[in-house]
């Protein structure tokens, strides 16, 4: 991943807590071809260690990544995907202003049945 950051100037960043653990997870922007009819879509994503869930870290980090994408990279849209049952991530998506249209949802091939269906959230600059 660090090679991609050097090449593009953006990617996934380490998440740290000031005065706390030096590494609690990652967040940032990633280019994905996983979404049907949206090759090269730019996705905001996050993955934090379980002890750091529910404390606002994912929301704050995702907001910074989205701001970077719109203000520094000039993106016209950022997306995020998850499975329908991942309510905590869906709440983060909603808190950062993303919207969900069920007609955008899709099935991810080669996934187990409980992970096949994915919901797509979108965000455009204000």
Q: Give the structural domain span for 80.
A: 2-123
User: In Å, what is the CA distance from 17 to each residue of 1, 22, 29, 57, 89?
Assistant: 21, 7, 19, 8, 19
Our count of domains for the chain comes to 1
* Of 80, 83, 102, the residue nearest 92 (C-alpha): 80
Share of the chain above pLDDT 70, in %: 98
Is pLDDT of 71 > 90?
A: yes
Strand partners, 47: 26
CATH number at residue 93: 3.40.630.30
Q: Which pLDDT tens digit goes with each residue over 81-116?
A: 999 999 999 999 999 999 999 999 999 988 888 899
- Give this prediction's pTM: 0.90
DSSP letter (8 states) at residue 52: G
Quote the CA–CA distance of 90 and 103 in Å, as a whole number: 16
């Amino acid at each position: 991943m660090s090679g991609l950051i050097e090449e593009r100037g953006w990617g996934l960043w380490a998440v740290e807590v000031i005065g706390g653990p030096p590494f609690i997870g990652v967040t940032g922007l990633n280019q994905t071809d996983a979404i049907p009819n949206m090759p090269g879509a730019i996705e905001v994503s996050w993955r934090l260690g379980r002890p750091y869930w529910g404390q606002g870290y994912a929301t704050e980090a995702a907001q910074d990544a989205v701001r970077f994408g719109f203000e520094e990279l000039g993106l016209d849209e950022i997306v995020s995907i998850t499975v329908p049952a991942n309510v905590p991530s869906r709440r983060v998506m909603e808190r950062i202003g993303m919207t969900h249209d069920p007609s955008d949802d899709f099935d991810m091939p080669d996934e187990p049945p409980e992970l096949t269906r994915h919901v797509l959230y979108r965000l455009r600059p204000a």
